Structure 1
Amino acid sequence: MTAKILDGRATAAAILDRVREDVTAFAAAHGRVPVLATVLVGDDPASHTYVRMKAARCAAAGMRSRRLELDASLSTTELVARIRELSADPAVDGILLQHPVPAHLDERAAFEAIDPAKDVDGVTRTSFARTAFGEGGFTSATPGGILALLDAYDLSVAGKHAVVVGRSPILGRPVGMLLLARDATVTTCHSRTEDLDAHVARADVVIAAAGRPALIRGAWIKPGAIVVDAGYAGNTGDVEHPAAADRAAYLTPVPGGVGPMTIATLLRQTVEAAIRHESTR
């Protein structure tokens, strides 16, 4: 068996084409384009690269990005104040705080300073709760992108056993909620789970989101499973890809799988936030 590749680049490009159309219609109706504010703290090279990439995608979709770069020495109180300013700014539709922030900062406090109506990256407690209860909040961008990628290939998870390896509040936990809402039976594992190989071996769907390169061995994969690798360290994901490709029915590449879907979801939700914003004026 050779796994069919779930092409995140092509799927994200199709989503961004629709986003571009929505932006054009929004601009015609409201005389402006949606605005995404990005907040970057410190000089981490990878974070700078990610923010530049998101700004470029914004521009390509006809949207506007506003970039706020802050010194790594600032305090949590100062960071929260700057984010609250963006939350209160009527010219801003969506806010993205680039993760991770420097270790001395309280990242959760900073996330919670984002107005849930502008939380297009789905990182606040309010967004998580609305997702869990099916109340229409913004999903965390990567989990939302994963579900959109499965949808693009008409892959249903209903009735299937899904194993999520990872428990972060912006990836592992929310993707479990989204899968549960689609009638999957969900098991959440992590790097300290005993007999992880046995749990993975029973999974019809594997979501690898632990941030541990090659943690999941290809030999563990159940023949015919759907495998989504959301890990990324250089060009290595959380799954041992060559061996997994011999057993899985569907597999995301690294890079080119989940990453492009995250950005596409972020921009789609920014347009949705702008539409809601205008409806409340």
Structure 2
Amino acid sequence: MSHTALIRSHRKPRRSASTIAMRAGVAGGVLSTLAVAGSAGAANAAEPVTQTIELPTLTADLAAQVAHSADATQQTAANYELQAERDAAAAKAAKQAKADLAEAKKKAEAKKKAAEAARKAAAERASRDAERTTLTASASVSTSTSTSTSTATGSAAAVIAFVKAQIGDAYVSGGTGPNSWDCSGLVQAAFKQVGISLPRVSQDQSVAGTQVSLSNLQPGDILYWGSAGSAYHVAVYVGDGMFVGAQNPSSGVVEKPLSYDPPTGAVRVL
């Protein structure tokens, strides 16, 4: 035993466990409060105060609405693109249709002109055939009446003698002799023998004198084929229903009856 155990002043008073615990709890609470307050103060001093905005929560319904809006936008864009393609196709089709219509009109006009030309040509052939039929009959009558009366005299005899002297010569387009001729070149040269100057071409020779009927021909008359003023062939009537002319490259200068190729008309310059 300690030598001081019996001395009262040296003994410490006993404390209960509950009292010690309570005091410890109070002290701990105070210290915790101070620590928290200190921390908060330090944080407030170190960081600026900011305002917190609460964002909406992306719920399943909102997500579905966003997806639906995106699909609708995409569909609208697709519809615009499809409409643009349709408009372009329609414009192209309209342009092609316009071009096809113009081409069809052009072809129809060409066919119409061709048909009109064919109709005119047929009418001219029919008229020419009718004239030749009439002239053949007239030539037959003329031949029978002139056979015994057609005797060339004077200038007519000289013209006829010249053209008959050229029978057998060649036909050459543009020929004016002395050994090759075309139809108007031979006629011009024949009448030059008697001092008569005729135009060079058959069209002008067909109107160079007085028009006479084929039923009243005289030796020395100029025969023509085609219309007066636009004749395409001429020859000289030599009497007895015969004529002499430079016919074509295969025949040359020949003497033929009127029935061989009935003329359209005749002119008299003697």
TM-score, structure 1 normalization = 0.20
- Of Structure 1 and Structure 2, the greater helix share is in 2
Structure index of larger Rg: 2
- Structure scoring higher RCO (CA < 8 A, sep ≥ 6) equals 1
